[in-house]
Structure 1
Amino acid sequence: MEEAEKTRKTEKIPFRRSIQLKFALSYIVIIAAVLALLNTYPVLVSQDLVFHSKASLLQSQATVIANSLALSATLTADTVREYIDGSLMGSLDNAGRIRILVTDPSARVLYDSDEYRATQNRYALLSEVTAALKGYDVAASEYRDGAFRSRAATPVMYRGVTIGAVYVYENDADQARLLTDIQSNLRTISIVICVVVLIMSIVFSKALTRRIGDLLRAIRIVREGEYSHRVSIRGGDELSQLAGEFNQLTDRLQTTEEVRRRFVSDASHELKTPLASIRLLTDSILQTEEMDMPTVKDFVSDIGEEAGRLTRISEKLLTLTRMDSAAPLERVPVNVRDVLEKVRHMLTPLAEESRITVETELAEDCVVLATEDDLYQIAFNLMENAVKYNVPGGRVVVSLRGMGDLVLLTVEDTGVGIPEADLPKIFDRFYRVDKARSRAAGGTGLGLSIVRDTARQHGGAVTVCRREPEGTRFEVAFPRYEPKGGEER
């Protein structure tokens, strides 16, 4: 037990390699990816929308101003100032945020709404103005230094001739601040979600891996030979189903182990008895100096009988071992009637010696998919037992008939029968109802086990019941073989 406990401790998985950490990291990585997308995509989309709307707005305003100024062949500072300051600025919603420049064809500033810059009569060395004077409309927007900086320029055309350019510039910190606040709120929400997800992932992964750990511990306990251990996992998911399958597996293992131990114990006991008899007889011969020849012959005859019993036990044990481990033999259609005739002929001397009458009622065309040797073994064991454990002058009735898609083999005797309490156990290995009588008849307690296991290998089943008013009735049912291309059903 100490060694098992030591093994369990040494097999403990480090946390960095545990499935709990992997589950938690998986949850965290997925949520982190979602939050990263949440913090970038809406902001980028919002910026693009703002850029597009502001560039379009400024372009529209610049076009309106240019169209309004294109009323004469030349532009003067007074006419431009009169129009923009007098009537335009009051109608613009963003008048407090924009700067308007108007230039002549040589890029000299005729009007600047930002009076503090004092740029009038200077040249506007701006790429947008240069492009506008060449006849192009230009608009752009960017986010820089905590504000949306947008600009647009358009030429002032009079009868197809460029007489100037209008440049509009906007510095919008309020809308930029609103977008920054949204981004900050998203970041705060993301941090809160990350903390919650971290806690929940640890809790959920620990709950999940605890159930897996229970299964793992149960497997290690059963591996050490404690087949009675069971694991209890609640729920209706795959892990609970896995726990149920594990418990069923341990049930099978426990049953198999109990059968194995009982089999080894029974086999050892059965082999020990004839060996002890042989040892006792040989010691008697060796230790008796003046033993007459008839006594020696009797002792040697007894040794031969015990050796024969050992041989029968060994052969039947080998038969059971082959049935448990060997691959299934290729099955062929076999007429059961022919097999039963051979068995009846083989047992005739034994039946006559015991004054037992063997009666047969064998129907034709009872064909099953099996091997002839296996069917012979089933019939021989049942019919031999019916003869051996019968009473002098008794009868054995063997019948074979077809019933629908089944072939039924029935063996009845008029012996003393089997007690009701013993009927469920007679197919257990080494189980004998009357041990003294079974040994006297040469029985090993393995014949009926061979019958049951052999029948099962070929899709059959064996049943037993008391026969009224006396005796026992065995019935073996096999799937019937259809010769006309039919298959085993």
Structure 2
Amino acid sequence: MLLLLNTYPLRVSQDLVFRSKATTLQSSVSVMVYSLSGLDRLTEENVSQAMAVVEETGLSRILVTDSAGKVLYDTRETNDALGEYSFYTEIVQALLGNDVFSSSYRGGAFRSRAASPVLYQNQIIGAVYAYEYDTEQAALLEGLQGNLLRLSAGIAVVVLCLSGLLSRALTRKIGQLLTAIREVREGAYSHRAEVPGRDEIAQLAQEFNSLTDRLQTTENARRRFVSDASHELKTPLAAIRLLTDSILQTENIDRETAREFVTDIGQEAERLSRITEDLLRLTRLDSNVLERPVVVDALPVLEQVMRMMSLVAQEKGTELTYRAEGTCTMLATRDEIHQIIYNLTDNAVKYTPPGSTVQVSLFREGDQVVLTVEDNGAGIPEEDLPRIFERFYRVDKARSRAAGGTGLGLAIVRDTVEKRGGTVEAANRPGGGAVFTVRWPWREGGGQT
């Protein structure tokens, strides 16, 4: 850009001067040729008389030659060319009948030359040559060049300063972002990139912070999950160890007591097995290790679960009923539908007091299949509703463990439903109790039973 700024104006100015010189110099030569064109023959005397009238004082030198190239008139003060033969290129071309002009710029001056033939009755009887050495316009051009150089230098300094400032600002922002990346790479997920501004790097930093927020949330959830899983696994293991130590350290333990201890050990082992199975199921869901879905009719699955849960409900004194309407087919697997209905129904039966009612409904609503499981128990505290589907979250921890719950059933329901494009939500009924609502996209088909 600076090179163009320093060359283009100078080139244009030179061209303008060259065109101006060509016009003025050729005009002057034409006047002199016109004054000599009335002579039938050129001599020193008649040329001097004719040129005395039209002599151009602004020109550096004027030569007039005859047809052989002999100099008859010379404006140089020494007149040392009179009587000599001139073989300037311009004069030679003029004697051949051509109008010639040339100009150059060097050494701080414009050097311009022009020559034209002198004709008498269409015969060349001589030539007029004019030379101009102009330093004034050359000085103006040099002044322009100097101004352009100073302007370019100023622009270059400003550009360098701005480039330095921008480079420092850019380097500082990139450095802050790299520092944040290194901190997060080392595990400091709470670290954030503080990059001000609205440019692309600031936007990149915002995206990085957003990603770090998600990483921190995931890491916190992972740590909480590992902690909760470790605690849940440790509880039955500690109970098993305590019971086995009691058996081993008690001498002459009676058969009935030993039988009770072994029964308790079996229950804790079963609980440990359920926790392990639920953890493996959640791991498969997190890893998207899912069976290929097919169109499943949920009604036969619902009937099977109701037959299984009816005995449990009878033992507890809970009334379990269900109803089904319409064609309830969705894209999933039979095991997934079974797991969802079983977990929600089992959860309702376990955590409602004896004498309560649990109602399970399955129906089609528009382009959705809806499953509701509702009870008339105590309901769920409002502050616990947003976290009810979190892993290992329990509203009443002591009561949940006593009922044999793992704290993973509702988390498995949520993850399984969402993997198949559905939704699940929990709410309290106006008349008391809780209701869980699952919605799947309805799919047409015969259904797998």
What's the CA shift for 1:384? 1.2
- Distance, in Å, in 2 between the alignment partners of 1:288 and 1:117 is 146
User: Hey, what does 1:396 align to over in structure 2?
Assistant: 358
User: Hey, what does 1:20 align to over in structure 2?
Assistant: none
User: Hey, what does 2:224 align to over in structure 1?
Assistant: 262
- Distance, in Å, in 2 between the alignment partners of 1:289 and 1:200 is 90
Superposed, 1:1-16 pairs within 5 Å as none
Give the aligned residue type for 1:36.
L
User: Hey, what does 1:64 align to over in structure 2?
Assistant: 31
User: Hey, what does 2:6 align to over in structure 1?
Assistant: 39
- Distance, in Å, in 2 between the alignment partners of 1:296 and 1:338 is 43
- Distance, in Å, in 2 between the alignment partners of 1:117 and 1:307 is 131
- Distance, in Å, in 2 between the alignment partners of 1:278 and 1:399 is 40
Contact 1:56 1:139 in 2 (8 A): no
Superposed, 1:105-124 pairs within 5 Å as 105-124=67-86
Query: Deviations along 1:389-439, whole A, 9 cap, x unmatched?
Result: 233333210112333333321101233433333222221111122223222
Query: Deviations along 1:73-118, whole A, 9 cap, x unmatched?
Result: 31122222112222x12xx5xx333311110111000111113242
User: Hey, what does 1:340 align to over in structure 2?
Assistant: 302
* Alignment partner of 1:82 out of 8, 27, 49: 49
* Alignment partner of 2:141 out of 176, 179, 202: 179
71-80 or 231-240, which deviates more: 231-240
What's the CA shift for 1:470? 3.6
- Distance, in Å, in 2 between the alignment partners of 1:245 and 1:109 is 87
SS in 1 for 2:78: helix
User: Hey, what does 1:287 align to over in structure 2?
Assistant: 249
Query: Deviations along 1:296-320, whole A, 9 cap, x unmatched?
Result: 3322222211111111101111111
- Distance, in Å, in 2 between the alignment partners of 1:154 and 1:308 is 122
Pairwise CA RMSD: 2.1
Give the aligned residue type for 1:463.
E
437-446 or 319-328, which deviates more: 319-328
User: Hey, what does 1:25 align to over in structure 2?
Assistant: none
1:405 and 2:367 matched: yes
72-81 or 269-278, which deviates more: 72-81
1:446 and 2:413 matched: no
User: Hey, what does 1:126 align to over in structure 2?
Assistant: 88
Q: What is the aligned-residue identity percentage?
A: 56
User: Hey, what does 1:479 align to over in structure 2?
Assistant: 441
User: Hey, what does 1:386 align to over in structure 2?
Assistant: 348
Contact 1:337 1:364 in 2 (8 A): no
- Distance, in Å, in 1 between the alignment partners of 2:300 and 2:79 is 123
Cα distance change, pair 405–340 in 1 and its aligned pair in 2 (3 A): same
User: Hey, what does 1:50 align to over in structure 2?
Assistant: 17
Give the aligned residue type for 2:398.
A
Cα distance change, pair 112–461 in 1 and its aligned pair in 2 (3 A): same
SS in 2 for 1:391: coil
What's the CA shift for 1:38? 0.4
What's the CA shift for 1:285? 2.6
SS in 1 for 2:440: strand
Superposed, 1:74-473 pairs within 5 Å as 74-86=41-53, 88-89=54-55, 92=56, 95-326=57-288, 329-473=291-435
Cα distance change, pair 167–340 in 1 and its aligned pair in 2 (3 A): same
What's the CA shift for 1:60? 3.1
User: Hey, what does 1:22 align to over in structure 2?
Assistant: none
- Distance, in Å, in 1 between the alignment partners of 2:298 and 2:326 is 9
Contact 2:35 2:51 in 1 (8 A): no
Give the aligned residue type for 1:83.
A
Give the aligned residue type for 2:304.
K
438-447 or 386-395, which deviates more: 386-395
What's the CA shift for 1:350? 2.2
Give the aligned residue type for 1:115.
E
- Distance, in Å, in 1 between the alignment partners of 2:445 and 2:90 is 98
Give the aligned residue type for 1:75.
L
What's the CA shift for 1:267? 0.7
SS in 1 for 2:90: helix
- Distance, in Å, in 1 between the alignment partners of 2:199 and 2:364 is 47
Contact 1:391 1:414 in 2 (8 A): no
- Distance, in Å, in 2 between the alignment partners of 1:372 and 1:203 is 65
What's the CA shift for 1:164? 0.8
What's the CA shift for 1:451? 1.1
TM-score (norm 1): 0.86
